[in-house]
Amino acid sequence: MNIKKFKTMITLVSAAFLLTSGCTSVYYSAMEKFGKEKRHILVDNVEDVQKSQEKAQEEFKDALTRIKELYAFDGGDLETFYDKLKDSYDDCDSRAKQIEKRINDVEKVAFDLFKEWEIEITQINDVKLKNSSKRSLRDSKIKYQKLETIMNKSTKGMYPVLSKLKDYVLYLKHNLNAKAVGSLSGEIVSIEKDVAKLIKDMNISIKEAENFINNF
């Protein structure tokens, strides 16, 4: 690896650690050395949420597939089906936590960006330029608030599905038999609807993130 690139990577990783540690001012200063202003960081963080939601869609689909496989169970090694479902649940649960953290990062940077913007507007003496900057700030806040609302809505939609998946996993853990599988068969329609709605909401969030990235 090129030494310069390696040093850059180490610095960026260290900067990311500073953000998670609460040393935001040091983090922003470090990122500015690489030409990354708060606006750029915000867009990068939105992209991270977008990527995580795309992966979450596939993982929740996989979990639904595991449940359908259980529903179609007609003999064999039930523990293998259970292990697959548990793995799918664990993937979905980990992804949900990652998305929550990444949205928190977005909200933190957005707050700091808009606060800095408001302060710097007061330092502009030219009335025309000041008013123009105020309009830009207002428009940017509107775009961001729309995105934040949609992202949080889709995130909240993960938890009812996760709760049901956890119920299924724990129930099967304690009842690894065909009768237990039969007891879950009536749940397939309900969770299928929940997953479909979740994926739809995530699609809306992913598209809104793309719109924000392209126009912010």
Domain spans in the chain, listed from the N-terminal domain onward: 1-36, 37-215
pTM confidence score: 0.83
In this prediction, residue 75 carries a pLDDT of 67
Q: How confident is the model at residue 177 (pLDDT cuts 50, 70, 90)?
A: confident
Q: What are the pLDDT digits (tens) for 133-164?
A: 999 999 999 999 999 999 999 999 999 999 99
Q: Which residue has tokens 């990311």? A: 16
Q: What are the pLDDT digits (tens) for 38-87?
A: 999 999 999 999 999 999 999 999 999 988 887 777 766 788 888 999 99
In this prediction, residue 16 carries a pLDDT of 53
Q: Which residue has tokens 């850059």? A: 8
Residue 10 has pLDDT above 50, yes or no: no
Q: Who's near 178: CB < 8 A, 6+ residues apart?
A: 73, 75, 78
Q: How far is CA 43 from CA 80, 94, 197, in A?
A: 42, 23, 26
Residue 123 has pLDDT above 50, yes or no: yes
- SS3 state of residue 215: helix
